[in-house]
Amino acid sequence: MGKLTDVQIQNWKRAGKPVAIADGDGLTFTLSAKGTAAWTLRYYLAGKRKELTLGRYPDMSLAKAREIASAKRVEIQQGVDVAAQKRHADQAAAQAWTFRRLAEDYFDKGAKKLSAATITNRTQQLRDYVYPKIGNLAAPDVTPADIVDIVEAAAGRSLHVARLVMVGIRMVFSHGIARHVVTANPCAHIRSDAIIGGAPDQKERVMLTDAEIGAVFKALPTMSRPNALMVRILLATGARIGELVQAEWVHLDFERAEWAIPPEHSKTKKGFVIPLPPMVAGWFAELQLMAFGSRYVMPIRTRFNGKEGDAHMEPVTLNAALVTLAKRLGKKCRRFTPHDLRSTCRSHLGALGIDVLIAERCLNHSLGGLVATYDKHDYLTERRRALELWAAKLASIENGEAFNVVALRRA
């Protein structure tokens, strides 16, 4: 039996004075000047004094410390340097492939074929939903149950985001198998639709009707003004959400009423200019007043003002806002995503009689075939007329007026 008692230890801890008192056979209770209480085992091996930290008090009780110390003494008698053994184990753990390290290696080496926007979105999704749960866990130790827990939590915010999170985790582990870091993918037999209630993946894009667009316009004041303006701009221009959140004010030319999307922000990896109808240019001007000097059109306002540096909003912010908006709309409008605003724009351009080639170029779609090879004209003037016609219809829908503009004759 040792010399110490629980009462003594508690009294020393309350007193707060540094102590180092032996319990017997090398087991020592220590209390630092900062109030950290711990158990250490002092021993001699090959004539040299050694010391092993067993754990902190009260996480490790007196009885548990005696039990562990007794087991370590047996190893020491067999010639094992338990302190060196623990040091090597700690170093191995520090060098182990955690999920976070594997994910960073994936983005560095295995995700080069992805667009910049996809990499940005996937990085943000792992940061917000995955790293807090398994980021520091050794990649081989991640279980299917861990994945299910993560995807269920993400689904509480957005079903769409939950599916994207699942895709991100799956790709990281696929990279890990290729690198021989893990031997199996814990996502292999997991389906996201089974986790989030069997909701089927949306295969076809939504074309919002005039009535649905009107309902959306009426509900927009319930959103924050920046989010509401994002919805308006995406609907009116057919731009991708990644292009909008990454847009900078240097890309906007208010005199020419143009928004230039640089190659690094474009899915096609080619620069593109979107002509802005006066109504849309006005929405951008309103956003500029709310940007507080940020270089970004859609900044993260809580991070700006010189505190954490300038940064642009993430697409998931609008995704989450649209989930809330859908609940308010109820049966007045089908559930839609930012990309559905793009498909709505394209569908209505066709309904307005806009030539297919012009409508496709409005969305920066590759024309393909001989058209792409020989036709280098970008139809900026024609696209401007098409988007102005679409903006006029949107204005009439919002005002509850009949749209009297005659549809353009198809070429």
Q: What is the CATH number of the domain that holds 86?
A: 3.30.160.390
Dihedral of alpha carbons 361, 366, 367, 371, sign = positive
Whether 74 is covered by a domain: the verdict is yes
Whether 410 is covered by a domain: the verdict is no
Q: Determine how many CB atoms are found less than 10 A away from the CB of residue 337.
A: 20
Q: What is the pLDDT of residue 302?
A: 58
Whether 306 is covered by a domain: the verdict is no
Cβ–Cβ under 8 Å, residues 176 and 102: yes
**Residue 236 CB burial class (10 angstroms; 0-12, 13-18, ≥19):** buried
Whether 204 is covered by a domain: the verdict is no
Task: Tell whether 221 and 348 lie within a shared domain.
Answer: yes
**Residue 131 CB burial class (10 angstroms; 0-12, 13-18, ≥19):** middle
Q: What is the pLDDT of residue 88?
A: 80
Task: Tell whether 245 and 383 lie within a shared domain.
Answer: yes
Task: Tell whether 68 and 124 lie within a shared domain.
Answer: no
DSSP codes of every residue in 174-223: HHHHHTTS-SS-TTTT--HHHHTTSPPP--S-----HHHHHHHHHHGGGS
How far is residue 310's CA from residue 296's CA, in Å, rounded to a whole number?
A: 8
Q: Residue 359 belongs to what H/E stretch?
A: helix 356-362
Q: Residue 76 belongs to what H/E stretch?
A: helix 62-77
Domain of 362, CATH number, reads 1.10.443.10
Could you say which of 38, 67, 92 is where a domain stops? Answer: 92
Q: Report residue 14: phi and psi, to 5°.
A: -65, -35
Please give the tally of structural domains in the chain. Answer: 3
The residue to which tokens 């540096």 are assigned = 309
* End-to-end Cα separation, the chain, in angstroms: 98
Cβ–Cβ under 8 Å, residues 224 and 287: no
Task: Tell whether 234 and 150 lie within a shared domain.
Answer: no
Range of the domain at 81: 6-92
Task: Tell whether 181 and 117 lie within a shared domain.
Answer: yes
Whether 31 is covered by a domain: the verdict is yes
Task: Tell whether 173 and 121 lie within a shared domain.
Answer: yes
How far is residue 167's CA from residue 76's CA, in Å, rounded to a whole number?
A: 49
How far is residue 358's CA from residue 345's CA, in Å, rounded to a whole number?
A: 13
User: pTM score > 0.75 for this model?
Assistant: no
Whether 201 is covered by a domain: the verdict is no
Could you say which of 58, 92, 126 is where a domain stops? Answer: 92
Could you say which of 63, 92, 121 is where a domain stops? Answer: 92
Task: Tell whether 233 and 347 lie within a shared domain.
Answer: yes
Task: Tell whether 179 and 254 lie within a shared domain.
Answer: no
Angle, helix 278-289 to helix 225-237, in steps of 10 degrees: 150
Task: Tell whether 160 and 223 lie within a shared domain.
Answer: no
Domain of 162, CATH number, reads 1.10.150.130
Q: What is the pLDDT of residue 90?
A: 67
Q: Which residues of the chain are under the pLDDT cut of 70?
A: 1, 90-95, 115, 117, 197-204, 301-309, 367-377, 405-411
Q: What is the pLDDT of residue 411?
A: 34
Task: Tell whether 66 and 156 lie within a shared domain.
Answer: no
